[in-house]
Structure 1
Amino acid sequence: MIFKQINPHSCRTYLIGNENDNSVILVDPVIDHFADYLDLLKKDGLTLTHVIDTHIHADHISAGSSLKDVTGCEYVMHEAAPPQCVSVRVQDGDVLRFNTIEIKVMHTPGHTRDSISLIVGDKLLTGDFLFLDDAGAGRDDLPGGNPADHWESLNKLNELPDNLMIYPAHEYRNRQPSTLGRQRQSNPHLQKRSKEEFIKYLEDLRLGPADWMKDVLQANYACAKDPNAAWIPIDTPACEIKGTMEKGVNEIEVQYIEAQELNNWLQTSRLEVLLIDVREKNELTGPLGQIEGILHIPIGQLTGKLTELQEHKQKNIVVVCRSGARATTGAQILKKAGFERVYVLKGGMISWNKSK
């Protein structure tokens, strides 16, 4: 079998074929390399029979529709995929046969509703359902994303052997493909958690999608063929969790405040304290409740609210979330924007309630 990754950057496109046949398949082609794909096919005397998109993409425009129109190939996606230009729709358990090559389809929603992974021989093409090592997996805070579905999908991997090689649709930091067995050891998404624990783990990492990603999704829904149909920043690790965060923010050190000390602050009238709760709206009325007097700004909206917060720049700002993870991100964003007196409620609302 011929199997190779043919893109020069973080978006991965895989060419699959057979040495004894000139027919090939492309998985997750990118419109920016449309001409390159045609040149490669012509130079090597190859016939493109199928294009497969593992899911609806939010960080690049697919070349699937364009390749289908120019080459006459079939365009394959899951049956739940929005684009109307798809010619072959698959579902969980389907087996696609291309001459001597057999591809088994696994429906692996979570990153998107239509995500599929492909078993090809000893290889598992995971799309954005699973990345390599510390990259974890594609984010679940895009339209159609669902952490509970992602947990269910990850549990499907339990039935697969350790020796499968993992090939994701993105690699932003030059991590190398490795076996599922290694990923079970090194990938944080594959650590043993209950569904509830997994959902909380992802909720604590969430950072709302950039507006430009929503534009890319709309372009792919419409089977766009123009590379300029949506503006896309170059090589941004956008589909990683927190991937749209401004460069360097993750490296900023923040200060933490214990729940009891914060309570003392709030009882001292001479201290000007602004509490910013970065949880989602539904969490404020959940079991953990909220601290009286908070300013509610969901973490995904915080960057867009920085100008409005300038009037509070001289106050002591304490950022609050469920356990402290999202609040740490919020504090880093504020520090990067020049807010100096910023603190994180250590342990979040969990610790706050225990301190009462």
Structure 2
Amino acid sequence: MIFKQLNPHSCRTYLIGEENDQRVIIVDPVIDHFSDYLALLKEEGLTLTHVIDTHIHADHISAGSALKDATGCEYVMHEAAPPQCVSMRVQDGDVLHFNTLELKVLHTPGHTQDSISLIVGDNLLTGDFLFLDDAGAGRDDLPGGNPADHWESLNKLTDLPDQLMIYPAHEYRNRQPATLGRQRQSNPHLQKRSKEEFIKYLEDLRLGPADWMRDVLKANYACAKDPGAAWIPLDTPACEIKGTMDKGVNEIAVQYIEAEELRTWLQTNRSEVLLIDVREKAELTGPLGHMTGILHIPIGQLTGSLTGLQEHKHKKIVVVCRSGARATTGAQILLKAGFASVYVLKGGMISWNQASEGLLQHKQQ
């Protein structure tokens, strides 16, 4: 079997075929390399019969529609995929016979609702459903993403053999393709968790999508063929969890403050403390509620709000979320931007409410 990765950057595009057969398939093509794909086909005398997108992409514009129009090939996606230009739709369990090759389709939603993975020979093309090693997988906080679905999809890998080689649609840090057996040891997404534990693991890591990613999704919904149809930052690891954060942010150490100490601060000098709650809007009215006087900035919007926060640089800033994980990310972003006095409410609103309940019980006694 012929199996090649075609792109020079983090977006991975795969060409699949067989020796002595000029017919080939391309998986997850990028519009920026559309001309390169056509030149390769011409130079090597190849005929493109099918182009496959493993899901609707949010970080680049697909070349699927353009290749279909240029070559007359079939454009293949899952039956739930939004683009109307798709000419062949597949579902879970389909076995596709392309040329003399056999591809088995696994519906693996989570990153998107239309995500598919492909087994061809000893290779498993995972799209953004599974990345390599510590990269985990594609983020589930984009439109159509769902951590519960992702957990169900990961369970479909249980009976697959260890020797399958994993080929994702992205690789941002030069990790090399590795076996499913290795991923079961090294990939945090494949560690054993209940569905509830997996959802919490992802939600505590979550960084909201950058606005530009929504524009890219809209362009792919519309089968755009223009590389300039949406602005895209160069080679940003955007589809990874925390992928839209600036380089180095994750390594910045933060200071934590206990609920009781924060309560004292607020009672003694409230005007010098700024509370930033980085949860989603719906969470503010959920079971944990919210603290009085917060500035609400969802974590995905914090980087874009830094200019407006400059007037508060002289204050003590305390970042708040559900349990402290997203707040830690928020504090790292603020520290990276030059805010000097930044703290994370240790344990988040869970700890704040527990401390409040303890205080109430003490007063009643």
TM-score, normalization by structure 1: 0.97
Does structure 1 residue 18 correspond to structure 2 residue 15?
Answer: no
**SS of residue matched to 1:157:** coil
For 1:329-356, what per-residue CA distance to the aligned partner results, in whole angstroms no more than 9, with x for missing partners? 1111111222111100112122223333
Shift in Å, 1:267: 2.3
**SS of residue matched to 1:351:** helix
In the comparison of the two structures, how many residue pairs are matched? 356
Which segment is superposed worse, 271-280 or 159-168?
A: 271-280
Structure 2 counterpart of 1:298: 298
Q: What is the CA–CA distance in structure 2 between the aligned matches of 1:229 and 1:270, rounded to whole Å?
A: 47
Quick check: 1:254–1:342 contact (8 Å CA) kept in 2? yes
Does structure 1 residue 312 correspond to structure 2 residue 312?
Answer: yes
Q: What is the CA–CA distance in structure 1 between the aligned matches of 2:287 and 2:262, rounded to whole Å?
A: 21
For 1:212-257, what per-residue CA distance to the aligned partner results, in whole angstroms no more than 9, with x for missing partners? 1111111111111111111211111111111111223222221111
Letter in 2 for 1:45: G
Q: Following superposition of structure 1 onto structure 2, how do residues 1-356 of structure 1 map, counting pairs within 5 Å?
A: 1-269=1-269, 272-355=272-355, 356=358
Letter in 1 for 2:294: I
Shift in Å, 1:271: 6.7
Gaps in structure 1 of 5+ consecutive residues: none
Q: What is the CA–CA distance in structure 2 between the aligned matches of 1:302 and 1:5, rounded to whole Å?
A: 36
Superposition misfits of 4+ residues, deviation over 4 angstroms: none
Letter in 2 for 1:317: I
Q: What is the CA–CA distance in structure 2 between the aligned matches of 1:51 and 1:9, rounded to whole Å?
A: 20
For 1:42-76, what per-residue CA distance to the aligned partner results, in whole angstroms no more than 9, with x for missing partners? 11111110000000111111111111111111000
Q: What is the CA–CA distance in structure 2 between the aligned matches of 1:269 and 1:250, rounded to whole Å?
A: 31
Q: What is the CA–CA distance in structure 2 between the aligned matches of 1:8 and 1:71, rounded to whole Å?
A: 23
Cα distance 1:270–1:79, how it changes in 2: closer, same or farther (>3 A)? closer
Q: What is the CA–CA distance in structure 1 between the aligned matches of 2:38 and 2:297, rounded to whole Å?
A: 47
For 1:193-217, what per-residue CA distance to the aligned partner results, in whole angstroms no more than 9, with x for missing partners? 1111111111111112112111111
Cα distance 1:4–1:270, how it changes in 2: closer, same or farther (>3 A)? closer
Structure 1 counterpart of 2:361: none
Q: What is the CA–CA distance in structure 2 between the aligned matches of 1:215 and 1:290, rounded to whole Å?
A: 31
**SS of residue matched to 1:104:** strand
Shift in Å, 1:290: 2.2
Q: What is the CA–CA distance in structure 2 between the aligned matches of 1:34 and 1:304, rounded to whole Å?
A: 32
Q: How much identity, in percent, do the aligned residues show?
A: 87
Q: What is the CA–CA distance in structure 2 between the aligned matches of 1:212 and 1:319, rounded to whole Å?
A: 25
RMSD: 1.4
Quick check: 1:265–1:271 contact (8 Å CA) kept in 2? no
**SS of residue matched to 1:105:** strand
Letter in 2 for 1:232: I
Q: What is the CA–CA distance in structure 2 between the aligned matches of 1:82 and 1:75, rounded to whole Å?
A: 13
Q: What is the CA–CA distance in structure 1 between the aligned matches of 2:114 and 2:240, rounded to whole Å?
A: 18
For 1:121-150, what per-residue CA distance to the aligned partner results, in whole angstroms no more than 9, with x for missing partners? 111100000000000000111111111111
Q: What is the CA–CA distance in structure 1 between the aligned matches of 2:78 and 2:340, rounded to whole Å?
A: 48
Q: What is the CA–CA distance in structure 1 between the aligned matches of 2:97 and 2:228, rounded to whole Å?
A: 35
**SS of residue matched to 1:181:** helix
Which segment is superposed worse, 218-227 or 287-296?
A: 287-296
Q: What is the CA–CA distance in structure 2 between the aligned matches of 1:245 and 1:151, rounded to whole Å?
A: 25
**SS of residue matched to 1:279:** coil
For 1:73-93, what per-residue CA distance to the aligned partner results, in whole angstroms no more than 9, with x for missing partners? 100000111111110000111
Shift in Å, 1:316: 1.0
Letter in 2 for 1:120: V
Q: What is the CA–CA distance in structure 2 between the aligned matches of 1:215 and 1:282, rounded to whole Å?
A: 23
Letter in 2 for 1:28: D
Letter in 2 for 1:231: W
**SS of residue matched to 1:204:** helix
Cα distance 1:206–1:177, how it changes in 2: closer, same or farther (>3 A)? same
Quick check: 1:206–1:242 contact (8 Å CA) kept in 2? yes
Shift in Å, 1:270: 6.9
Letter in 2 for 1:72: G
Quick check: 1:59–1:213 contact (8 Å CA) kept in 2? yes
**SS of residue matched to 1:11:** coil
